[in-house]
A and B are shown apart, each in its own frame.
Chain A
Amino acid sequence: DAGITQSPRHKVTETGTPVTLRCHQTENHRYMYWYRQDPGHGLRLIHYSYGVKDTDKGEVSDGYSVSRSKTEDFLLTLESATSSQTSVYFCAIVDRDTDTQYFGPGTRLTVL
């Protein structure tokens, strides 16, 4: 699992509230990613980071922001959650030595 943890693992929130999901890695990987997984859409890239304070948008970044103040932590924030953001969110890192992408256990978010 490449030492990736996500928190919380499950969250139920109401429309309009802010939500922050945390991804933590212990192996000093430079690249980190946030994906969402939805039926019929597979996994889609939300944001990614290529170093501390270096982040950029993915395919479905509207409504999301990210921050990376430390190598080990990559935060995904929904400023004002909407029902369309109900999904399972996965964090991932890339092991550049092997080109392998490893995923965290996921966070199941429900926005009511």
Chain B
Amino acid sequence: SQQGEEDPQALSIQEGENATMNCSYKTSINNLQWYRQNSGRGLVHLILIRSNEREKHSGRLRVTLDTSKKSSSLLITASRAADTASYFCATPSSFQGAQKLVFGQGTRLTINP
């Protein structure tokens, strides 16, 4: 089952612009994590935001969380060509005592020079 749904599925912007990606989820969570994946590469952890936090910053990244709407957003400011990647939100889900992550399908971000 898919917990996180990213929107849009694809986003293409010019270098220097800001990029915003959204994630919606279905059940209550205690945290939400964002990952980046470059084409053919592994998943890089970007940021974790807890359910009692509304906003969190890390460098050019800003993540918000609205638990009443079950949604999160990832903002990348002053985008660079190196930001071209797929971005995933992931929420924890209890699976037979283990905590697995449930990923959305991702937003494919392209930064045009």
8 Å CB contact of B45 from A42, A100, A106:
A100
- How many contacting A-B pairs (Cβ < 8 A)? 55
Q: Is B85 an interface residue (CB 8 A)?
A: no
Map CB proximity to A onto B1-22 as digits: 1 under 8 Å, 0 otherwise: 0100000000000000000000
B99 and A42: CB pair below 8 A? no
8 Å CB contact of B101 from A43, A104, A105, A106:
A43
Given A103-B43, A105-B42, verify A31-B98 contact (CB < 8 Å): yes
B41 and A31: CB pair below 8 A? no
Q: Is B33 an interface residue (CB 8 A)?
A: yes
A18 → chain B closest CB, angstroms: 25
Given A58-B95, A58-B100, verify A42-B105 contact (CB < 8 Å): yes
8 Å CB contact of A94 from B35, B43, B99:
B99
Which A residues have a C-beta under 8 Å from some C-beta of B? Answer: 31, 33, 40, 42-43, 45, 48, 50, 56-59, 90, 92, 94, 98-106
